[in-house]
Amino acid sequence: MKKEYVYRSFERFWHWMQAALIIFLGITGFEIHGSIQFFGYDQAVKYHNTAALSFLVLIVFAIFWHFTTGEWRQYLPTWKNLRAQAEYYVFGIFRNAPHPTKKTVLSKLNPLQKLVYAGLKVLVIPVMVMSGLLYMFYRYPQRYEVLGLNVHGLEFIAIVHTIGAFLLVSFFIAHLYLITTGNTVTSNLKAMITGYEDLSKEDVKGDPDSEINEPVYSK
């Protein structure tokens, strides 16, 4: 095994900041929805809107980073070993079966992770952002003046936004569980904090079948 620099500084910053903002948006959002009580409705709306705008700024920087570094290729879905990976999570992991795919510096995600993360990035989060912006800025014009919210017109947007919130909550719970499925219970968590992860020599060289041709980052 060799300790390799797998997750770069911005990648770790983006990961933890995104996690913090999504958790905070979930707490304030469900309070606005009436599911919990914590800050009070008015403050929850204010905090939710501020966190949403911060999240948009983070998304812009993340998109720029992914495309300038080529890291966007990490999320390209593949059908190779997808079924084997799903069966491993459902059955194999409880039988100490070998992992069907190898994690490498150049291919950090397994096929199932690629599919899920791609869905989040191109479907769930964009829908949440668009529905949230529509909900935030939509007004009902009457006689050339903006008089107030058209609550009935917002009902469908609110339902879509809420469904997206539950999908994110489901992903968050699954993500917490999958964190514990590394070489040790805490190895994945430590890697996302320090950037370093223990990989075999074969993993350090990278996956020859990977479509990613970025250089290996190590220190």
Give per-residue pLDDT as tens, 159-190.
899 999 999 999 999 999 888 887 788 888 99
DSSP secondary structure letter of residue 153:
G
Q: Report the C-alpha gap between 43 and 188 in whole angstroms.
A: 35
Question: Cβ–Cβ contacts within 10 Å for residue 55, how many?
Answer: 21
What is residue 207's predicted lDDT score, i.e. its pLDDT?
46
Residues 51 and 57: their CA atoms lie apart, in Å, by 10
Average pLDDT of the chain to the nearest whole number: 83
Torsion over CA of 189, 194, 195 and 196, rounded to 10 degrees?
-90
Q: Residue 152: CA atoms inside 13 Å, Cβ hemisphere, count?
A: 0
Mean local confidence (pLDDT), 65-77:
91
Tell me which of 158 and 147 has the higher pLDDT: 158
Residue 195 has pLDDT above 50, yes or no: yes
Phi, psi of 202, deg, nearest 5? -65, -40
Of 1.20.950.20, 3.90.76.10, 1.10.3720.10, 3.30.565.10, the CATH number of 2-204 is 1.20.950.20
